[in-house]
A and B are shown apart, each in its own frame.
Chain A
Amino acid sequence: MTFSSGDLLLILPELLIVTAACVVLAVDPVLHPSKKDGMAWLSLGTLATCMGLTASQMSHSTSAFGGLIVIDAYGCFWKLLLCFVTGLTVLLSYSYLKEERLHFSEYYGFVLLALSGMMVMVSSADLLTIYLGTELMSLSLYVMAGLKRSEPRSLEASAKYFVLGAFSSGILLYGISLLYGATGSTRLPDVAAAISGRSLDDSLLLFATILLAVGFSFKLAVVPFHMWTPDVYQGAPTSVTAFMAVASKAASFGAFLRVFVEGLGGVKANWSAIFLLLCIATMVLGNVVALVQTNVKRMLAYSSIAHAGYALIGVVAAGRMGGAAGNGIASVMLYLSLYAFMTFGAFAIVAMLRKGEVEGEEIEDFTGLAKRHPLAALLMMLFMVSLAGIPPTAGFIGKFYVFMSAVEAGMTWLAVLALIFAAISAYYYLRLVMVMYMREPGEVMVTSPRFVMSPTLSIVLACAVAGVVIFGFYPNPLVNLAVQAVLTLK
């Protein structure tokens, strides 16, 4: 295989990120502790440059490295989202890690490495490259999850994540190899050409599809492959949890959609049936189990599982729709980008609600927050309302489009079912609003948790709120972006 310098230019955003990651990791040991803040600013600068470059590639539709990498609006949409979320992560971590006394600058190196993996995932048209991207992302996340070395919970999260992640990667790789056996290629266009006209009666193709579905389901935290999620989300440092819940999920969806639409589009009726079952199971289990959680991080973990279920509705619908499949995919892209704002905002508030040395992550810790920190309570309420999908917030817009594609695909019953579970989910989201606004801090609480505001955190919250409110009232730009991006998906 040959490649030209032009190819390198096309992946300049990725190269920049990797370089910055290497610089951070290399410089860190020799850096004076007082100057380590600079690594955060370096990361932010790189991310901003990278977003600018990616935005300029939005109108491209080319491939590099003999088709291993494609630069199209679809990939750029995800890359922009991922860079943005990573920027928020860096900003949140800056405040949070200092509070936790975990402020190592390697951390930023791992964040950037994970991001580069994610960017490869969403812009690759080759199964093996996608696999490499997935591994790069996952390995970085395993390390980040175990960052609180002194806390057993964090180590447990890391180990659990690693074992199950490695297991799922194995399944994914097995699926790729079977697909290679069935089609003779790992390139998505070749795979698509090879399976056109074939059905899943071909048992090799059937197993390959199922294994790929299972492998991705692990990454997406879809029931019944979600078991790692609550423990890992709860145990990992909260800034990492936010990163995993938003960025890693978005990247996995980005790669997953490309594989199943571009590569396995020929058997979409079949995989649509598989994901229909997973989607229902995910919505039901995620929402019902979230009802009984007492820990906010765990509740948000189950809520993120449930939200993956809602997003899957769009995938299922896309599989059922003929010409209008793009609407289904676009609704998923829209859903995840709106979900990013509200989920990240919610985790940011959890991270900065401090109870002594640790974070106040129990629901009880939020008791009476509206009295003590009216602004934090107001923002948290906004995020909860948005997660529940109540207008006029971004969460409603996301749900609206997903349900619309379900109805368009003739699955009104699925929309009804999902909406009933959305109404059920309102109960646990509102429980948090209730304790914040309607309960007085009891006698039991000697030291009520305080909310630590910092300049970087206020930027994070401002971005999250702006996303939730602006896209709740005026989603047009984002909708158009998603609709146009999806056109480039073949």
Chain B
Amino acid sequence: MIGRIFYWPEIRRIFAQWAGVVLASVLAGVLLGMLEMGGANEKMALEISLPAGFILAAILWNLIGHRFAVTIVRYAVAGAATTVEFQGERGMPLPTAAFATAAALVVSVYCIQAGPVSQHHASPTVSCILPAA
């Protein structure tokens, strides 16, 4: 039961952090489009918008991590000989990052390998309206 109590803030923090990364990506895409409409060529627009998106994503990640940080709480487990200390995390804990990124990279490699087929079936109507490269 105690584990569930401490687990909910962790879910909120993780979900909010990834939502912040997606928000930063959207803003970077908007900046990319504005630069292209303003007359900048595609290479220059990418060189400006993507680093801006990365920086904004990192800032949001840390800000949200501190906003949803879990404080240090000591609690006793019934039947246990010692008192267990729960150390709240600030930012992404190390093993979590390892497992999450490894899993994400495996999925990414799989998606890249199956890229042309899945991309063809993914959004035919959207790709039809795009201007020719």
Say whether A and B bind each other: no
Contact surface of B with A, Cβ cutoff 8 Å: none
